[in-house]
Amino acid sequence: MQAIIFGLLTAACFASGAVASSRTSRTIGPYSTIAGIAVVGMIITAPFLIHAGMPTQMDGAKFGWLMGVGIGSLGGLVLSYMAFRVGKVGVVAPIVSTEGAIAAVLSALFGESIAPLVGMLLVFIVAAVIAAAIAPDPAPVAHEQPLRAALLAVAAAAAFGVGLYSSGHLSTELPIAWILLPARLIGVVAIAAPLLITRRFVMTRVAAPLVVLTGITEVLGFTFYSMGAQHSVAITAVLASLFAPIAAVAAFLLFGERLGKLQIAAVSTIVVGVVALSLAVA
């Protein structure tokens, strides 16, 4: 039951963040969005870092995995926000939701050979992603570039998958706050600080609350995922992937983003494939 609750909470958080960041990416740009989210995330995690204290037995291997978490997660955010800027939430979010499946496949690849069923499901998902990218769009939004958005979303999913795979090696060895730290710290140092120094950081009254919301939901979503995974990785991962259809419905209700029949069929296939793959590698 706890895995179900935390999985659904994860999906709700990630869906909220995806919808909010899709707006800010189009108004203030992906880098200012990332900068704001990183600052918010650091403010939230700082008290928990202080409470947790310095991890014991920190060695080169743990530091390397932390860098994998940070670079993968931050790279995924940058690429996904670039995708949201030129694509619809209903198409981008389902592709990005394959991150969990990618992490699971990486785990299987480095642990043992891939089963035939897993290989078939991967082909199934790839075909659905291609279909979502090239399917006719009956109601395109301003500045939409479907193919570019799909390619960026694929790259984002791959980066997120590396981040999740890396965090899996640390989930039982370090406090959650320390696993959350790298992406936010790198975001502040490598993106927020340079933008502020060069006066290229952009923020508006409309975007500010959405950036804060996304920063909060990113931290909460990862925390809920980690808590649910302690009870059942498979159940938590499957339910967390439901953030994609939730975000698509929210984008339709809030912003009027409509998908064509082929697009709906493709993104539905992606979600089904991710759920099946998550169960197959569990």
Report pLDDT for 139: 75
Distance of CA 56 to the CA centre of its chain: 29
Distance of CA 233 to the CA centre of its chain: 17
Closest CA to 115 of 104, 125, 126: 104
Segment 127-156, tens digit of pLDDT: 888 888 777 777 777 778 888 999 999 999
Segment 10-46, tens digit of pLDDT: 989 999 999 999 999 989 999 999 999 999 999 999 9
Segment 175-229, tens digit of pLDDT: 888 888 999 999 999 999 999 999 999 999 999 999 999 999 999 998 888 888 7
Please give the model's pTM, rounded to 2 decimal places: 0.85
245 close to 114: Cβ distance less than 8 angstroms: no
Closest CA to 45 of 218, 177, 221, 187: 177
42 close to 188: Cβ distance less than 8 angstroms: yes
Going 152 to 158 to 162 to 163, the CA torsion angle's sign is positive
Closest CA to 24 of 151, 196, 203: 203
Going 135 to 275 to 240 to 82, the CA torsion angle's sign is negative
CA distance 186 to 189: 5
The residue behind tokens 């932390």 is 66
225 close to 240: Cβ distance less than 8 angstroms: yes
Segment 72-116, tens digit of pLDDT: 999 999 999 999 999 999 889 989 988 877 877 777 777 655 667
